[in-house]
Structure 1
Amino acid sequence: MKIDLHSHTYCSDGVLSPTELVERAVSKGVDVLAITDHDTIAGLAEARAAIAEKQLPLTLIPGVEISTSWYEFEIHIVGLNINSYCPVFLQHLASQQQRRVERAEEMARRLEKNKIPDVLENVLKIANGAALTRTHFARYLVQIGKASSMNTVFKKYLSRGNTGYVPNNWVPLQEAVQWILAAGGTPVLAHPLKYKLNGRWLTRLAEEFSAAGGKAIEVASAQMTPVQKRQVWMLCQKFGLTASAGSDFHQETPWNELGRQLYFTDDVIPVWQDWQLPEPKSVQLSS
């Protein structure tokens, strides 16, 4: 069974619609998919409807990826199997969206101060109602020729110490974990190696995440080597956590795809060990 528990639609910073994402997942042989847009569940209804209407052999896990603050680091926590109708949880996500707007306004102000005009207006057009992210800023700056690639934008404008960087204003990590638990979900520490923490800090993160009520860490994600997977799994074992797997798919690239290389070794305990999942099926999508 192929399981991918971390993916994005254009409701945040992905490029595919929810319908296109679930169709792509089936075409890539994925049996179980979590949609985990940034601080929003706006894509879930369309994804559910597409699966039902097209009778896709895909189990959808309702999810979200919450941006959090931990010792001035921005840490992302994925919530899996959340109750997407929980009114209190929806209020929490609305508060995160307000934080995103405030941060975007300040980023735009700083960029405009450095002679890049009409930033917020154009970023809002690109986002088209989606949860605002730095990716939308990066797309705009590439579009107007300020950089040749998204990576260059982040290095030159949006990273710490540069013109458009604004310190995060996210909810504390421990609080976000409690939001997810209260909504009946499973908190998962997303892409742990992406934060570029040294061994001591990464261990501390795993320990405090577990103490806060966290349940799993992404042990398999895009471009992780077998050695890295083993190192992260050892952290899970040390702090009583299970293992998750997610591509963090945003769009088609040469280095990442839905369901690709998300395998575990036999001794790894997956986060879905107690989930009731259907038997995998294979179908060919019509063109």
Structure 2
Amino acid sequence: MPFFDFHTHSHFSDGEHSPQHLAKIALEAGIKQLALTDHDCVDGLPELKSNALGLEVINGVEISSTWQNTEIHILGLLIDPGHKAISELLENQQHLRRERIERIHQKLCKLGISGLLEYLENLNCKALTRTHVSNFLVSEGHSKNNQKAFKVFLGKKGKVYSPANWCDLTESVNAIAASGGIAVIAHPSRYSISSRALNALVKDFRNAGGEGLEISYPNIDQATRKNLKTLAIKNNLYCSGGSDFHSYSRTWAQIGKFPTLQDNGEIKTIFEHPSWKARQNLHS
């Protein structure tokens, strides 16, 4: 099992647990380095750091981005969360999220479903997501479970579907780089795009200044992982990994439970990045 996890979420976005509890889970799992990568927000980092208890905390974020009309998630690792470039981008992302929630709320009201905004106001959350809306629909008895809530209401063919005009992929990469971070494409095999499109995405990402590719995450098969390794090598990208942990209920995505990055030197791991080496020298 890896000694690190560079992709996790807390209740500040669509995770279920507090950053403090994430630290507890990570330590119990034997994790030494943990990145909190909430969607479009960094508000949970102070709480995680204050409860680290020997756990090395990596500043992180997951930015919802657009590439050729497709939503792509870009991880920012080792960012300076207070840097102007990242702060301004995340502020705009939050604005887009609030606008989307308002549009969904209005559509729900037309269906005779009220109470969403009041429900959301009671959450200790910064980045409002469709998952929060699905939780509301389930809790109020409008849907049997979250999967059906997305299918009937929130997905592309859903009754209240409302797309968000996220920032361009290049904007995400630039903001991450400006804040001293490393931009990494999250779970690249999970996007509904062809192999040719994935190759084009990775190439455009690299040309924009992106530096990393997440190649190790839960439920990835060997063939897919091999293909991602090849993509990383071809585009001279550093390889990263993480669980994309949200809650205990997602049994397939628990902290630290994903393939190791060990590969006999075929790839460059995130630990070989100059910024990572500089960080480790400071902590040694």
Structure 1's consecutive aligned runs of 4 or more residues displaced over 3 angstroms after TM superposition are: none
C-alpha distance in structure 1 between counterparts of 2:118 and 2:230, whole Å? 46
* Distance across 2 between alignment mates of 1:63 and 1:119: 29
Q: Distance in 2 between matches of 1:143 and 1:20?
A: 24
Could you tell me which residue of structure 2 aligns to residue 159 of structure 1?
Answer: 155
Selected match of 2:76 from 66, 79, 82: 79
What is the CA distance between 1:90 and its match in structure 2?
1.1
Aligned partner letter, 2:239 = A
Kindly report which structure 2 residues correspond to 1:164-243, keeping only aligned pairs within 5 A, or say none: 164-243=160-239
**Which residue, 44, 56, 69 being the options, matches 1:59?**
56
Output the CA distance in 1 between the equivalents of 2:220 and 2:185. Answer: 15
Structure 2 unaligned regions, length at least 5: none
Letter in 1 for 2:269: P
- How many angstroms apart in 1 are the aligned matches of 2:148 and 2:198? 27
Instruction: Report Cα offsets for 1:41-66 as digits up to 9, x if no partner.
Output: 00011111112xxxx23111000000
| Aligned-residue identity in percent | 36
SS in 2 for 1:248: coil
Does structure 1 residue 108 correspond to structure 2 residue 105?
Answer: yes
Native 8 Å contact 1:74 1:168 kept in 2: no
Amino acid at match of 2:270: V
Report the Cα offset of residue 149 of structure 1. 1.7
Alpha-carbon distance between aligned partners in 2 of 1:108 and 1:8, rounded to the nearest angstrom: 25
Query: What is the one-letter code of the residue matched to 1:171?
Result: C
| CA contact 2:17–2:247 (8 Å) conserved in 1 | yes
Give the superposition deviation at 1:261. 2.2
What code does the residue aligned with 1:272 have? F
Give yes or no for contact 1:5–1:247 (8 Å, CA) kept in 2.
Answer: yes
Counterpart for residue 7 of structure 1: 8
Distance in 2, matches of 1:254 and 1:196, equals: 23
2:117 corresponds to 1:120: yes
Contact kept in structure 1, 2:232 and 2:267, CA below 8 Å? no
Amino acid corresponding to residue 226 of structure 1 in structure 2: Q
Q: Is the CA contact 1:4–1:32 (under 8 Å) kept in the aligned structure 2?
A: yes
1:25 paired to 2:42 = no
| Greater mean alpha carbon deviation, residues 169-178 or residues 150-159 | 150-159
Shift of 1:112: 1.6
- Separation in 1, partners of 2:194, 2:215: 17
Cα drift, residue 193 of structure 1: 1.4
**What secondary structure sits across from 1:163 in the alignment?**
coil
Q: Distance in 2 between matches of 1:201 and 1:78?
A: 20
- Aligned-partner Cα distance in 1 for 2:245–2:272: 23
Q: Which amino acid aligns with 2:72?
A: I
Amino acid at match of 2:117: L
User: What code does the residue aligned with 1:2 have?
Assistant: F
Please tell me whether the aligned partners of residues 11 and 17 of structure 2 are also in contact (alpha carbons under 8 angstroms): yes
Question: Does structure 2 conserve the Cα–Cα contact (< 8 Å) formed by 1:39 and 1:67?
Answer: yes
The 2-side partners of 1:256 and 1:228 are apart by 17
- Structure 1: gaps of 5 or more residues: 279-287
Distance in 1 of aligned mates of 2:160 and 2:190: 21
Of residues 161-170 and 70-79 in structure 1, the stretch that sits farther from structure 2 once superposed is 161-170
Residue 47 (1) aligns with residue 48 (2): yes
2:129 match: 133
Asked if the contact 2:67/2:169 (under 8 Å) is kept, the reply is yes
Q: Give the structure-1-normalised TM-score.
A: 0.91
Cα gap change, 1:57/1:128 in structure 2, threshold over 3 Å: closer, same or farther? closer
User: Following the alignment from structure 1 to structure 2, what is the Cα–Cα distance between the partners of residues 120 and 164?
Assistant: 15
1:245 to 222, 241, 247: 241
Contact 2:97 2:164 in 1 (8 A): no
- Summarize deviations over 1:118-153 as a string: whole Å, max 9, x none: 22222333x334211111001001111222221121
The answer for the alignment partner of 1:283 in structure 2 is none
CA distance in 2, matches of 1:194, 1:112: 32
Quick one: distance in 2 between partners of 1:45 and 1:171?
26
